[in-house]
Amino acid sequence: MSGVLVVLEKTPGSAAINRMSFEALAAAQQLADKLSATVTIAVPSGKDFSADGFESKGRTPSAAYLLKHELLEPYTSDTYVLALEQLIKKLSPDYVLFPHTYQVRDFAPALATRFKQVLISDVIAIHDGPVFVRQLLQGKLNADYKHSIPNNEKAPCFVSVQAGSFRADESTTTIKPEIFTPELSAAQIRNKPGERFRESSQTVDLSAAPVIVSVGRGIGEQDNLPIVEELAQALGAELAASRPICDNGWLPMERQVGSSGQTVSPKLYLAVGISGAIQHLVGMKGSKAVIAINKDENAPIFEVADYGVVGDLFEIVPELTKAIRAAKT
Ligand SMILES: Cc1cc2nc3c(=O)[nH]c(=O)nc-3n(C[C@H](O)[C@H](O)[C@H](O)COP(=O)(O)OP(=O)(O)OC[C@H]3O[C@@H](n4cnc5c(N)ncnc54)[C@H](O)[C@@H]3O)c2cc1C
């Protein structure tokens, strides 16, 4: 095979593919179109998937493989590396794409190393070449990566695709996969799976809020939070936050917006002291209108903001709250 292999990830304990995988599939299709190449799908699974078929999105791929072995469940990086290494050696794809999930972050760098390659991770765009774009320094720089191997040796290029960067196709197709049974033995497994990491529980449903005031590390310390809480109250808005605020325990995890928090699409999203890292943007860029307050005029949040205020939040937010209260009386 010469083309693009995309490794899809299943939702644990079910026979469904997760949403980020379909975004990676959309990226794979875009890349294959640029190269006039084919797309092949691979799904590692223990028991949940069968050769009867599973649902995928977008165009029907030219081939689909179900890597099936009881040792692939529960997930371990050792079995995934061994199984995918065997499939890649059989297919010899030029590119191997993954969704940038926690699981992929765990095993894909080791898999790439088996082929003396690195993983180009967190890719947000693919240009002609192909050139893979990923962000550096909290989104302040975009860096371009091209795959090249010395001495014309052949090895695939391994790429993981950031959440929210490619739009998954909405049309559904049923895939009838070919079964690929990797050679695995229990003695090869060095990891002991623990309890699965759970994303933040969602007792606060931010996705239904029409107005959200979201606070970031620019607030400085927990004692300053009342400044934004008062703004949220004046606007009748839900309070949300970037990850460092929740990691610090200043606000509960369920108020986190972003790739490892909630995805929101309010009529108005007011970002206060938030830089606009890609992991935050993917959770809020569907908002109808975005207002950003940030003292750094080069902060990436301004790229998605409809209205930007460059300045000190400690001066602007209290004045804004006062003006909103006055307008309401
Ligand atoms: C696997 C992974 C998952 C992640 N998931 C998420 C996620 O779900 N959600 C999320 O948000 N992040 C997530 N992150 C973290 C993300 O990469 C960023 O680190 C985070 O979003 C930065 O938060 P911030 O913008 O509040 O802080 P910073 O990047 O530190 O930005 C603070 C901003 O405040 C501004 N500022 C400072 N003082 C003032 C002031 N007085 N007035 C006005 N502006 C001021 C600064 O100019 C700066 O732009 C994740 C990271 C990883 C690796």
Between the CA of residue 9 and those of 80, 128, 262, what are the distances in Å?
A: 11, 27, 20
Ligand 1 pocket (Cβ < 6 Å) reads 138, 216-218, 242-244, 256-261, 273-275, 277, 279-280, 283, 293-296, 299, 312-314
Amino acid found at 131: V
Taking only Cα atoms into account, the Rg of the chain, rounded to an integer number of angstroms, comes to: 22
Distance from the alpha carbon of residue 321 to the mean position of ligand 1, in angstroms: 23
- 46-58 burial, b at 16+ Cβ within 10 Å, e below that, comes to beebeeeebebbb
Distance from the alpha carbon of residue 273 to the mean position of ligand 1, in angstroms: 8
> Which two structure tokens, joined as six digits, stand for 114?
């088996």
pLDDT beyond 90 at 175:
no
Rounded to an integer, the average pLDDT of 306-328 is 96
Is cis: bond before 130, omega within 30 of 0? yes
Distance from the alpha carbon of residue 276 to the mean position of ligand 1, in angstroms: 6
In this structure, which long-range contacts are made by residues 100-106, counting pairs with CB atoms below 8 Å and at least 24 apart in sequence? 100/20, 100/160, 100/161, 100/162, 100/163, 101/9, 101/18, 101/20, 102/197, 103/9, 103/75, 104/7, 104/9, 104/160, 105/160, 106/77
8 Å CB contact between 272 and 214:
yes
At 259 the pLDDT is: 84
Rounded to an integer, the average pLDDT of 150-179 is 87
In this structure, which long-range contacts are made by residues 282-289, counting pairs with CB atoms below 8 Å and at least 24 apart in sequence? 282/162, 282/163, 282/164, 282/165, 282/258, 283/164, 283/257, 283/258, 283/259, 284/212, 284/214, 284/257, 284/258, 285/164, 287/212
pLDDT tier, 199 (very low <50, low <70, confident <90, very high otherwise): low
Residues 264-298 have pLDDT tens digits of 888 999 999 999 998 899 889 888 999 999 999 99
Antiparallel, parallel or unpaired: β 157-161 and 95-99: parallel
Ligand 1 atom with the smallest distance to the CA of 215 is 26
Choose the residue to mutate in 197, 245, 250, 295 for probing ligand 1, maximizing ligand atoms within 8 Å of C-beta.
Answer: 295
8 Å CB contact between 10 and 48:
yes
Ligand 1 atom with the smallest distance to the CA of 261 is 8
Distance from the alpha carbon of residue 136 to the mean position of ligand 1, in angstroms: 13
Rounded to an integer, the average pLDDT of 222-235 is 96
Which residue's CA is minimally distant from atom 53 of ligand 1?
279
Residues 90-124 have pLDDT tens digits of 999 999 999 998 899 999 999 999 999 999 999 99
pLDDT beyond 70 at 178:
yes
pLDDT beyond 60 at 38:
yes
pLDDT beyond 90 at 215:
yes
At 45 the pLDDT is: 87
pLDDT tier, 152 (very low <50, low <70, confident <90, very high otherwise): confident
Can you list the alpha helix ranges (DSSP code H) found in 73-211?
Answer: 77-91, 102-114
**Residue 273 to residue 280: CA distance in whole angstroms:** 12
For the residues of 169-188, what is the DSSP string, one character each?
Answer: P--EEEE-PEEE-----GGG
Ligand 1 atom with the smallest distance to the CA of 312 is 42
> Which two structure tokens, joined as six digits, stand for 53?
């078929």
Model confidence pTM above 0.75: no
- 94-106 burial, b at 16+ Cβ within 10 Å, e below that, comes to bbbbbbbbebbee
**Residue 113 to residue 90: CA distance in whole angstroms:** 17
Distance from the alpha carbon of residue 138 to the mean position of ligand 1, in angstroms: 8
Which residue's CA is minimally distant from atom 49 of ligand 1?
275
Between the CA of residue 206 and those of 216, 266, 269, what are the distances in Å?
A: 16, 9, 11
Q: For the chain, how far is it from start to end, CA to CA, in angstroms?
A: 69
| DSSP-assigned beta bridge partners for residue 95 | 4, 157
